[in-house]
Amino acid sequence: MRGRQWIDSLYQNQTRYEEWTLIGDPAMRVWTGAPRPLAVTHPAWVSAVPQELAVGVTSAGGPVANARVCAWLDSVAYAVDTTDASGNAVLGIAPDHPGLMRITVTGRNLAPYQGTCEVHVTGAPYVVYLKHEVNDSFPAGNSDGIVGAGETITIPTWLRNFGDSTARGVRARLRCADSKVVLLDSVRYFGTLLPHDSAQTGRDGFEFHVDPTCPDGRELLFRVHTSDTMGRAWDADFQETVVTVALSFVSDTVRDSAGNHNGRLDPNETADLIVTLHNVGSGTARQTTASLRSSDQRLVVLDSAGSWGDIPGHGSRNNNADRFTVHAAMMVPATPILCTLIVSSPCYSARLLFTLTPGVLRQTDPGCDGPRIPPLYWAYDNVDSTYVEHPAFNWVEASDAGTNLALRDNHTIRFDLPAGFGPFKYYGRRYEQLSVCSNGWIAPGVSSFIGWENYRLPRGIEPPMLAVGWDDLLPDTIGNVWCLFDSASHRLVIEWDSVPSRNLPTHRDKFEIVIYDTTLAAADGNSEFDFQYQISGSQGYATVGIQDPSDSIGITAVFNGTYNRAAARIQAGRCIRFSTDLPMVGLAELPGPTPCRITTAATIVRGVLVLGAGHDRNSPGVSDRVPKPALLDISGRKVLDLRPGPNDVSALAPGVYFVRAVSRELLAVSCHKVVIAR
């Protein structure tokens, strides 16, 4: 079968495949009748000297002519002959050491015969390894009788005295020079072996451990060194092939029968998750189980245990019979959620990573940078109205009170940030200078790059970039680039005022970048900034987006007329805010003196939710503006008024909720995520 697959991989042609694998070799012998069983006679043993070996072949009591007879022992003895009309063959052999000589008989329409003939020595004992078994019983192994990586193996071993004299005080030592093998018990005492007799270690044989990193298919060579009290010693070798278990993630399948039945996990939906695993090793992964984990609070694992049973070597299986159950909180659709499978099987364990991406991204959702998990910077359009972080268009005219940077065609200048502004913190790095290019972008730090031809970001060549309208622009005496430091509003504005592009010289665009100082930074300290467009006609053919200092992470809202799925069309009145604050969905309208944010990890509740006594709307000093404690669903809608102490939530559907409560000490509203489970 491997030969057929190899031919197919070489030619990948149906005609060639049929010619070489189905039609076959015209000289090949084929069966033309039912194979006849054979009766073969030959000596049970011979001496280790040159000699002739006589073999007789019959079938149903009659001689068989033209049968092919072969005898071989290791690489020292090999002979072939064809039976005559009387069914006899004579093979010249010259074995020089004892052992088991193999004898085979084949022929046209004959059932093949396989037998052995022992080779003995005379005048002395000759004790060597005969055979062994593999014992990899649980828990040191997976009990499949095969040597596997990570297993501790016991091998009951047999010795045989192929000589005609008694061997006394026989001792055997197991040896292996392979770095992937550790010998744990390598010496066994056998005592006295009579001529042509055998002995075994018993079930408690030699013992060794195979390193878990041992590759699949590795041949382990062992030597059994035997000796007796007379100082005679003999060696014999055997080998074992290592098989490994190596599981990899293949795919995941969603069964949302309790949701909207669209076959995918969507925000605010509970669904079953089926995971397919593939065993790239040749060993069987027995009794395979796994636990599903995710440190992302937006994904709640309600049933974390799954089982696959036995996964054969080079085979695949899924946990359809024992599925996971997960709940996706309200979040930005298509947000990648990193998940971990902690997989275990006897003598094998692994941590497999994969991602779930609930939902489908829409134009009214924010986009995120990539490729990375989790994202850092998010791009919020002013049309993303269901998100707390969405900006409002608020044009700041820099040409009235700012400084004309007097940029020429393909011209980049740099300047120090104002002392009262502080550093610009971008992707965790602090910059004291900015470089501004006439071609519609700025770079944190110092850069001489002019970059008039725009590309999709990230590209890997340009400096870290804030591309508000990257194109081949032509600043002139009418339209140029202005800079305004507005200390009162904690912002720095770079405006391209009425600047034409080389492709559309008669159309003048007006757009700007508004960078906020560290007092208005995101929660993690990274700076926030806005792209704003007052007059726009050519930006749809430019590049709008950002690129990080490593040139490997970025966001492209639009490139040459192709928009990101989460990007609104660039037009007059558009504003895009870039922030590292995570999107908050459905809680924007909650009243209270402070923003309502998720402040604790999810708590799983079954039947009764207990609200602490410190969260009391009627506590002295609590303003009437502070809302009563309540339980909100994922969209921010109140589903239940809460009181201090136990609250019955058994009638509510399972899923993610938020406890809105007032803190007596802070006199402020806080929001805690809980998961109601059955």
Q: Is the pLDDT of residue 15 over 90?
A: no
Tokens matching residue 113: 């015969």
**For position 540, what pLDDT does the model report?**
62
Average pLDDT over residues 84-89: 96
**For position 25, what pLDDT does the model report?**
63
Residues 237 and 251 in one domain: no
- The band of 666, judged by pLDDT with boundaries at 50, 70 and 90, is very low
The rounded distance, in Å, linking the Cα atoms of 71 and 116 is: 9
CA distances from 234 to 47, 128, 167, 187, 229 (A): 17, 6, 12, 15, 13
**Residue range 407-455, pLDDT digits in tens:** 999 999 999 999 889 899 999 999 999 999 999 999 999 999 998 899 9
Q: Is the pLDDT of residue 597 over 70?
A: no
The rounded distance, in Å, linking the Cα atoms of 557 and 572 is: 16
Domain final position from 221, 241, 261 = 241
Please check whether residue 584 lies inside any domain of the structure. Answer: no
CB atoms within 10 A of CB 162: 24
Question: Which residue range(s) make up the domain with 656?
Answer: 603-676
In single-letter form, the type of residue at position 426 comes to Y
Tokens matching residue 37: 């069983």
| Between residues 124 and 332, the one the model is more confident about | 124
Average pLDDT over residues 169-180: 96
**For position 627, what pLDDT does the model report?**
60
Residues 492 and 565 in one domain: yes
Residue 11 phi, psi (nearest 5): -95, -35
Cα 630–chain centre separation: 41
**For position 23, what pLDDT does the model report?**
65
Q: Is the pLDDT of residue 20 over 80?
A: no
- The band of 600, judged by pLDDT with boundaries at 50, 70 and 90, is very low
- The band of 156, judged by pLDDT with boundaries at 50, 70 and 90, is very high
Please check whether residue 363 lies inside any domain of the structure. Answer: no
The CATH number of residue 52's host domain is 2.60.40.10
* DSSP string across 628-652: PPEEE-TTS-EEEE--SEEEE-TTS
* DSSP string across 404-469: E----TT-EEEEEPPTTT--EEETTEEESEEEEETTTEEEES-------S---S--SSSPSEEEEE
**For position 585, what pLDDT does the model report?**
59
Residues 46 and 188 in one domain: no
In single-letter form, the type of residue at position 658 comes to F
Residue pair 345/142 in contact by the 8 Å Cβ criterion: yes
3-state secondary structure of 530: strand
**Residue range 393-402, pLDDT digits in tens:** 999 999 878 9
Please check whether residue 327 lies inside any domain of the structure. Answer: yes
Cα 535–chain centre separation: 46
Domain final position from 120, 153, 177 = 120
Please check whether residue 379 lies inside any domain of the structure. Answer: no
According to DSSP, the β-strands at 45-47 and 113-120 are parallel
| Between residues 540 and 573, the one the model is more confident about | 573
Please check whether residue 659 lies inside any domain of the structure. Answer: yes
With a pLDDT cut of 70, the percent of the chain lying above it is 91
- Burial class for 250, CB neighbours closer than 10 Å (0-12, 13-18, 19+): middle
How far the first Cα of the chain sits from its last, in Å, is: 52
Query: Residue 15 is inside which H or E element, if any?
Result: helix 14-18
Lowest mean pLDDT among 228-232, 483-487, 590-594, 612-616: 590-594
CA distances from 174 to 19, 156, 193, 221 (A): 50, 12, 19, 11
Residues 528 and 664 in one domain: no
Please check whether residue 543 lies inside any domain of the structure. Answer: yes
**For position 610, what pLDDT does the model report?**
85
Residues 283 and 203 in one domain: no
Residue pair 6/20 in contact by the 8 Å Cβ criterion: no
Peptide bond into 374 cis (omega under 30): yes
Residues 138 and 276 in one domain: no
Average pLDDT over residues 189-213: 94
- Find all residues with CB under 8 Å of 14, minimum gap 6, and list them: none
**How many domains does the chain fold into?**
6
Residue pair 412/475 in contact by the 8 Å Cβ criterion: no
Residues 174 and 278 in one domain: no
Average pLDDT over residues 142-164: 93
Tokens matching residue 169: 């005080």
Instruction: Please name which of 195, 136, 111 lies closest in space to residue 160, comparing C-alpha atoms.
Output: 195
Please check whether residue 596 lies inside any domain of the structure. Answer: no
CB atoms within 10 A of CB 152: 17
Residues 135 and 20 in one domain: no
- The band of 588, judged by pLDDT with boundaries at 50, 70 and 90, is very low
**For position 538, what pLDDT does the model report?**
65
The rounded distance, in Å, linking the Cα atoms of 59 and 425 is: 92
Residue 16 phi, psi (nearest 5): -65, -40
Residues 452 and 416 in one domain: yes
Looking at the DSSP bridge assignments, the partners of residue 234 are: 226
In single-letter form, the type of residue at position 269 comes to E
With a pLDDT cut of 90, the percent of the chain lying above it is 62
Instruction: Please name which of 474, 464, 418 lies closest in space to residue 441, comparing C-alpha atoms.
Output: 464
Domain final position from 63, 85, 120 = 120
Tokens matching residue 422: 């502080």
**For position 253, what pLDDT does the model report?**
95
Residues 430 and 531 in one domain: yes
Tokens matching residue 50: 């040159």
Starting at the edge strand found earlier in the chain, the sheet holding 198-200 runs 127-132, 157-161, 198-200
The rounded distance, in Å, linking the Cα atoms of 363 and 384 is: 8
Q: Is the pLDDT of residue 614 over 60?
A: no
Please check whether residue 219 lies inside any domain of the structure. Answer: yes
Starting at the edge strand found earlier in the chain, the sheet holding 348-356 runs 305-311, 285-293, 337-345, 348-356
**For position 55, what pLDDT does the model report?**
97
- The band of 634, judged by pLDDT with boundaries at 50, 70 and 90, is low
Q: Is the pLDDT of residue 257 over 90?
A: no
Provide the mean pLDDT of the chain. Answer: 87
The rounded distance, in Å, linking the Cα atoms of 678 and 676 is: 7
Name the most confidently modeled range: 81-95, 373-387, 586-600: 81-95
Query: Residue 398 is inside which H or E element, if any?
Result: helix 398-401
Residues 468 and 521 in one domain: yes
**For position 503, what pLDDT does the model report?**
81
pTM of the model: 0.59
Cα 126–chain centre separation: 54
Residues 424 and 496 in one domain: yes
Cα 645–chain centre separation: 45
Residue 550 phi, psi (nearest 5): -85, -5
**For position 31, what pLDDT does the model report?**
83
